[in-house]
Amino acid sequence: MVEKKLDFKELAETRRSVNFFDPTKPLSDELLKDIIDLAVLAPSAFNAQPWQVLAVKSKEKRQEVHDKACNQPKVLDAPVLLAILGDTTGFKRPNPIWDEKVRLGNASAADVENIVNFSENVLFPTELRQVAFAASNSSLLAMSIMYAAKYYGVEAHPMIGFDESKIKEIFNIPDHVIVTMLICLGYFDETKTLRPRETRFTYEKIVKSF
Ligand SMILES: Cc1cc2nc3c(=O)[nH]c(=O)nc-3n(C[C@H](O)[C@H](O)[C@H](O)COP(=O)(O)O)c2cc1C
C-alpha cells in the first residue's frame, strides 16, 4: 500500500516535538538516508553547507549522551539520535563549494577570492559572527531534517538541553565545530499522550512592517 504523503500545510500543522518514542520500533538505515538526502536541499550561505550530522544508533553511545543531556529519556527511547554540528570555519577554503562555483560558471575565480576575503574580514570577523554562521546554517538543516522525517512518517524531537563540552568530548568534536542541537528520530509511543500544543505568537505580535 502506498502511504499518503502529507502536503506541506498538513505537515507543518501536525509536526510536533514528540517527547515519547517507542523503543521497540527501529528506524531503518534506508529511511534515515532518505530523510537526510531530502533535508540537505536546505539553503545555506554561499551553499557552503557548514554542517555535519552524527547518527548515534548504538545504545552505549546514546546512554553516554543521555547522561550529558539532562537525562532526557527520549535520548534512550528513540532508535536514532542525531547530533547536528555547525562548522564556524565553513565559509573558508578548502570548502570545495568555492571551486564548484567556478566550475559551474556561477562565479569567476577572482569573484570567489573576493567573497572569501569579504567573508573573513567583513561578514564573519569575530567568533560571535562565526558561531552565528555555523548555528544559523545548521539550524536550517535541522529544521529540514525534522520536516523531511515527518514527510516520511518519522517523528522528531529537537533538543538543546545538553552540556556541549561533554558531548564534544564523547564524539571528539574539534573546537571550531559547534553542537547546534540534538534530534531524536523514531516513532511515537502510542501509549503516551502529548501535552497540548502551545500557542504561537501572532503575525501582529512578531511582524513589524516598514
Ligand atoms: C532548538 C530547540 C531546542 C529544544 N530543546 C529541547 C530540549 O532540550 N528538551 C525538550 O524536551 N524540548 C526541547 N525543545 C522542544 C520545544 O520545547 C518544542 O519545540 C516547543 O515547545 C514547541 O512544541 P512543538 O515542537 O511540539 O510544536 C527544543 C526545541 C528547539 C527548536
pLDDT at 2: 58
pLDDT at 189: 98
pLDDT in tens, 65-100: 999 999 999 999 999 999 999 999 999 999 999 999
CA gap 77, 72 in Å, rounded:
9
Q: How high does pLDDT run on average in the chain?
A: 97
Q: Best substitution site from 21, 160, 197 to test ligand 1's pocket, by max atoms within 8 Å of Cβ?
A: 160
pLDDT at 1: 52
What is the Å distance from ligand 1's center to 113 Cα?
40
Tell me the chain's radius of gyration from C-alpha atoms. Answer: 19
**Closest to 149 measured CA to CA, from 21, 50, 37, 22:** 37
CA gap 135, 13 in Å, rounded:
25
CA gap 116, 98 in Å, rounded:
9
CA gap 58, 78 in Å, rounded:
11
pLDDT at 201: 98
List the domains of the chain with CATH numbers.
Answer: 14-206 (3.40.109.10)
Atom of ligand 1 nearest to the CA of 194: 26
Percentage, residues of the chain above pLDDT 90: 98
Residues of the chain with pLDDT under 50: none
pLDDT at 85: 99
3-state secondary structure of 16: coil
CA gap 36, 30 in Å, rounded:
10
pLDDT at 97: 97
Virtual torsion, Cα 142, 135, 73, 145, nearest 10 deg = 0
pLDDT at 3: 73
Q: Best substitution site from 71, 81, 159 to test ligand 1's pocket, by max atoms within 8 Å of Cβ?
A: 159
